Amino acid sequence: MEGVVFWLILTLVKILVILAIVLGIGAYLTLLERKVAAHIQRRPGPMVVGWHGLLQPLADGLKLITKEDLFPRYGNRFLYNLALVMALVPAALVFAVVPFGPEFELFDVKVKPMLTDVNVGLLLVFAFGSMAVFAIALAGWASNSKYALIGSMRKAGIVVSYEVVITFAVMGPIILAGTLSTYEIVQKQIQQELWYVWLQPLAFVVYMFAMLAETGRVPFDVQEAEAELVTGFTVEYGGMKFGLFPLVEWYIEVLSLSAIAVVLFLGGWSPINIPFLGFVDPLFFLGPFSPFLWFVLKVSLLFLFVLWLHWTLPRYRIDQITETAWKVMLPITLVNIVLTAVFAPLVWE
C-alpha cells in the first residue's frame, strides 16, 4: 500500500516537474528564438521588459491573455477549441517517455528521471506525433476560412508523409539497440560505447529533416507561409489561442523531437563519444549532475541548430516537400534499414 502511494506521489511530482519545465522552457524559448533571430539579423531583439528583455515572455503572455477572444462567424466552436487541446496534449505527452538522465538514488529509492519507462516508448512518441495532424485539420476546418483550410491541408499532407519517413528513419537505431524503450536505447549506446549517429548518419539527417517538417520549421513552414497564407491554419485564432499553436509547434514539439533525437542518435545523457573507444567527459567535476547537463546541452544545441537553420533558409513549396519525402527520403531510409540489418550483428558483438 505504502509503495503505491509513494509511487503515485512520485509520478505526480514528476508530472508537475516535467510540465513546469516544458511549458516554462517553452515560453522562454520564444525569447531565445527572438534573441537568436535578432542577432542573426543584426538587431538586439527585445530589450525593454526586464534586463535584455528577460521578462518579455511574461509580458507577451499577459498581452495574449488579455486580448479579446474572437471567433469566426459560422465556425464550429467545439472543434475550434478541441483543436487547441488536441495540439497541446499529445505534444506534451511525448515528454512522458523522454529519459533526462540515468537512474539515481534519492532517499534510498531508485528514481528514473522520466515519467514512465514503457517498453514501447518510441511507438508512443510517434503515435502522439501523428495526433498533431488532427489538431491542425480540426483547426483549419473549424475556422471556416479558406486560408486556414489550405494551411491545414498542407500541414496534414506534410505530417502524413513525414510520419512514414521518420518512422523508417528511427528503425536503424532501433535495430542497433534491439529495443523500443527510450531508456534502454540510451543504455545500449553507453554499453556499446557508440553514439548511433556514427553508424546512422543518413538516418540522422533524414530524421532532422523530418523533424523540421513535422514541427513546421523552415524550410518546411508552408502551413504558415505568411506571405501566401498569412499564418495558415491559425489565421482565425486570437489572443492566447493564437499564441498556443506556435508554442506547441515551434517550441514544445521541436524540444520533444530534439530530445528523442538525442536519445536515439546522440547517446542521451552520455558525454562526448569517440566511436568504439569510450566516452570523454569534460564536465566530470559536476559529479552526478553531469549526465543531466549533457542531456540539456545536447538538446539545446540541436534546438539552436534548428533556429539557425530557420533563420537562414528559404522555404520549399508543398508539392516539393511531399515529393522529397516519398521520392528521396523514404528510399534512403529503406536502404539504410537494409544496411543496418546487415551490419547490426557486428555492433551487437
Partner 1 sequence: MPWAKAEDFRDLTQRFEGLVLEEKPSITALHVQKAKLLELLRVLKQEKGYKLFLDHSVVDFPDKDPRFQAFYVLYNVDERKRVVVKTWTEGSLPSVEGLWFAGKWAERECYDMFGIRYEGHENLVRAFMWETYQHYPLRKDFPLEGYPTEYLPSLNEVVWGESLQGLMNYDRMHTSVPTLEDLEITERKRLQKKAQIVLNWGPLHPGTHGTMWFLFDLEGERVYQCDVILGQLHRGVEKLAEHEMYNQFLVYTDRMDYLSALCSNQAWVVAVERLLGIEELVPEKAKYIRTMMAELQRINSHLLWLGTYALDLGAITVFLYAFKEREKLMDIIEGITGARLTISYTRIGGVRMDLPEGALEVIKAFVKRFPKELAEWESMLSRNRIWLRRNVGVGVISKEEVYFYGLTGPVARGSGVPYDLRKFEPYDAYGWVDFDVPVGENGDVYDRYLVRLEEMRQSLRIVEQCVSALERMPKSAPFFAESPDPKKLKLSLDGIGLKVPEGETYSSGENPRGELGFYIYSTGGVKPYRVKIRPGSMYNLCVYPKLMKDRVVADAVAILASLDPVVGEIDR
Partner 2 sequence: MVKKVFERPLSWLERVLFIDFIRGLSVTIRQALRRTITTHYPYEKVTPPKRFRGFFGHKVVDGKEPQPAFDEWVERFKIKVEPGKSRCVVCLLCKRACPVPQLFEIEGEKLSDGRRRVSVFNMNLMLCTFCGFCVDACPVDCLFQSDIHETASYTRRDAVLDLQTLERIGRDWQRRREEEPDRIWIDDHQRLKLWHENQLNLPEVKR
**Cβ–Cβ contacts within 10 Å for residue 286, how many?**
12
Pick the binder of partner 2 from 312, 320, 323, 326 (CB under 8 A).
312
Which residue, 40 or 334, is less far from partner 2 as judged by CB?
Answer: 40
Rounded to whole angstroms, how far apart are CA atoms 303 and 142?
32
Pick the binder of partner 2 from 230, 313, 332, 347 (CB under 8 A).
313
327 belongs to the binding site for partner 2 (CB under 8 A)? no
Pick from partner 1, partner 2, none: which does 36 bind, CB < 5 to 8 A by kind? partner 2
> Could you tell me which stretch among 91-99, 129-137, 252-260, 304-312 binds partner 2 (CB under 8 A)?
304-312
Pick the binder of partner 2 from 19, 20, 39, 334 (CB under 8 A).
39
32 belongs to the binding site for partner 2 (CB under 8 A)? no
Which residue, 42 or 73, is less far from partner 1 as judged by CB?
Answer: 42
Which residue, 43 or 77, is less far from partner 2 as judged by CB?
Answer: 43
Question: 272 - beta bridge partners?
Answer: 280
Which residue, 42 or 110, is less far from partner 1 as judged by CB?
Answer: 42
Binding site for partner 1 (CB under 8 A): 37, 40-43, 146-147, 150, 154, 218-219, 221-222, 225-230, 311-320
Pick from partner 2, partner 1, none: which does 146 bind, CB < 5 to 8 A by kind? partner 1
**Cβ–Cβ contacts within 10 Å for residue 73, how many?**
6
Which residue, 296 or 313, is less far from partner 2 as judged by CB?
Answer: 313
Integer CA distances (angstroms), 313 to 159, 307, 308, 309, in order: 20, 10, 9, 6
Residues 6+ apart with CB under 8 A from 219: 212, 309, 313, 314, 315, 316
Q: How far is the CB of 40 from partner 1 (least distance, A)?
A: 6
Angle at 11 between CA 260 and CA 289, to 5 degrees: 60
Pick the binder of partner 2 from 2, 42, 105, 110 (CB under 8 A).
42
311 belongs to the binding site for partner 2 (CB under 8 A)? yes
CA atoms within 13 A on the CB side of 168: 22
Integer CA distances (angstroms), 240 to 48, 62, 68, 82, 119, in order: 22, 9, 9, 15, 36
Pick from partner 1, partner 2, none: which does 317 bind, CB < 5 to 8 A by kind? partner 1
242-247, long-range: CB within 8 Å, 24+ apart, which pairs? 242/64, 243/60, 243/61, 243/64, 244/84, 244/87, 244/88, 245/84, 245/87, 245/139, 247/26, 247/27, 247/30
In the complex, the residues that contact partner 2 under the rule CB under 8 A are 36, 38-44, 47, 308-309, 311-313
